[in-house]
């Protein structure tokens, strides 16, 4: 974001509007998840992924701020469509073992993040003296295009698979029992016909289904917002903090965090098979809390920033995917539920970047305050979720 601020010669507040308008597109994209009873999900995701890769690759050569904002809406819309789809799709394909597969998908994301940071590092300039002229556009153009070419290979392969052997969803009517991983005629949602002993806990009619869905959506939203704001603003925060970290050192720190994140996604996949998702969530939640505490110390000490970023990468390696696996354990994960989570997350993203962007230049600690607000809200929602799970599990046993 610092590089874009200098490219367009504007304030951090105006550049942060990119994130806000991206969220507008993000919220709009959530509604596409409700149309998969009529549209082919594989084709829609492939097309949106291709558009996202192209728009991202061309960011350094966007001529002005209005065009940058248009790109932000497009990228937000496409990213939302992808995110609303892939979790439900994964759970549908692997209904009884989705958590390890989701962690493997996160492993791929971690590799991509690490490689992207490594590619961009030599081309970052950061803040320089007023009399030094740097053509930041020319420096960033080719690394962005390189990243875009690498990314676009994934949706192109999916599009080719669609043309060769398209994925077809199975359908059943309301009077038939739909197994997990099958869809119904009603918006691609699994429609259990009655409550049985094999139903997931909060699919049962004798549990507070609506309240639990609201709680789970709130929990997923706050955890996702915590991770999103960390990834979105950590790089900028380190440069604006009293430590005034150089762009190259920021890249090293984020590469280290991404590497730890990547390695532990594989560890988490194995651990989930062995011990289950619940202990993973509890343990890694503690790591995130410790990382947030050290991040406060890092406001004045570079070593603490290194430790905090690495610990946060470790903790988030389980939390980002784990919250979906944890939710899918107690609900039938449908397009509607996924859309609710993504939409709620989008609403939070609509305001947070504006707040951080407006104050981070002169009051970088605002980033820390926002991170802690999301962390404490997530814990405040998670504790009653755990209590209700244990309560209704005991009632079912009785």
- What Cα–Cα distance (Å) separates residue 294 from each residue in 169, 260, 305, 316? 47, 17, 7, 15
- The CATH number of the domain holding residue 221 is 1.20.1250.20
Specify if 84 maps to a domain: yes
Q: Would you say residue 196 has pLDDT above 70?
A: no
- What is the rounded distance in angstroms from the CA atom of residue 381 to the CA atom of residue 215? 7
Least confident range of 80-89, 131-140, 328-337 = 131-140
187 versus 348: which is more confidently predicted?
348
Alpha helices, H only, the chain? 2-7, 12-30, 41-57, 65-93, 98-120, 136-164, 209-240, 247-275, 277-297, 302-330, 335-359, 365-397
Q: Report the predicted TM-score, pTM, of the whole model to 2 decimal places.
A: 0.67
3-class DSSP assignment, residue 10: coil
* pLDDT of amino acid 305: 92
Least confident range of 263-267, 330-334, 361-365, 384-388 = 330-334
Specify if 174 maps to a domain: no
Cβ atoms within 10 Å, residue 8: 18
Specify if 187 maps to a domain: no
Specify if 383 maps to a domain: yes
Specify if 173 maps to a domain: no
3-class DSSP assignment, residue 170: coil
* pLDDT of amino acid 128: 62
Specify if 28 maps to a domain: yes
pLDDT, average across residues 260-277:
85
Specify if 31 maps to a domain: yes
* pLDDT of amino acid 116: 78
Residue pair 219/323 in contact (Cβ under 8 Å)? The answer is yes
324 versus 188: which is more confidently predicted?
324
How much is the mean pLDDT over the chain?
79
Q: Would you say residue 184 has pLDDT above 60?
A: no
Q: Would you say residue 376 has pLDDT above 90?
A: yes
Specify if 72 maps to a domain: yes
Identify the domain containing residue 125 by its residue range.
2-168+198-397
pLDDT, average across residues 236-256:
86
Residue 175 burial (CB < 10 Å; 0-12/13-18/19+)?
exposed
Number of domains in the chain: 1
Tens digit of each residue's pLDDT (9 = 90 or more) over 227-239: 888 888 888 889 8
């Amino acid at each position: 974001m610092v590089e874009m601020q200098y490219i367009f010669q504007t304030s951090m507040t105006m550049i942060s509007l990119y994130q806000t308008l991206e969220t507008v597109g993000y919220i709009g994209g959530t509604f596409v998840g409700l149309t998969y009873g009529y549209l082919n999900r594989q084709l829609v995701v492939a097309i949106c992924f291709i558009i996202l890769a192209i728009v991202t690759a061309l960011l350094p050569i966007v001529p002005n701020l209005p065009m940058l904002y248009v790109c932000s809406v497009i990228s937000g819309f496409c990213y939302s469509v992808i995110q609303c789809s892939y979790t439900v799709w994964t759970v549908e394909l692997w209904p009884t073992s989705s958590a390890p597969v989701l962690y493997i998908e996160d492993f791929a994301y971690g590799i991509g993040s690490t490689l992207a940071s490594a590619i961009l590092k030599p081309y970052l300039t950061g803040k320089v003296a007023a009399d030094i002229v740097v053509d930041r556009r020319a420096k960033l153009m080719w690394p962005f295009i390189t990243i875009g070419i690498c990314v676009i290979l994934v949706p192109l392969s999916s599009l080719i698979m669609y043309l060769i052997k398209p994925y077809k969803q199975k359908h059943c009517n309301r009077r038939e029992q739909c197994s997990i991983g099958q869809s119904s005629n009603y918006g691609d949602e699994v429609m259990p016909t009655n409550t049985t002993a094999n139903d997931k806990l909060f699919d049962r009619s004798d549990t507070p289904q609506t309240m639990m869905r609201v709680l789970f959506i709130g929990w997923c939203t706050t955890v996702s917002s915590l991770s999103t704001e960390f990834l979105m603003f950590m790089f900028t925060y380190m440069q604006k903090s009293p430590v005034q970290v150089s762009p190259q050192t920021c890249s090293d720190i984020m590469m280290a965090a991404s590497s730890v994140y990547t390695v532990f996604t594989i560890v988490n996949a194995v651990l989930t098979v062995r011990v289950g998702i619940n202990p993973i969530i509890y343990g890694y939640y503690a790591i995130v809390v410790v990382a947030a505490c050290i991040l406060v110390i890092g406001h004045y000490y570079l070593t603490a920033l290194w430790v905090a970023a690495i610990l946060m990468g470790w903790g988030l390696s389980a939390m980002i995917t784990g919250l979906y696996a944890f939710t899918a354990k107690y609900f039938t994960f449908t397009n509607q539920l996924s859309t609710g989570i993504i939409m709620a997350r989008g609403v939070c993203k609509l305001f947070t970047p504006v707040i951080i962007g407006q104050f981070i230049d002169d009051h970088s600690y605002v980033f820390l305050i926002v991170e802690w607000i999301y962390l404490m809200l997530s814990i405040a929602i998670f504790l009653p979720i755990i209590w209700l799970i244990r309560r209704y599990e005991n009632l079912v046993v009785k």
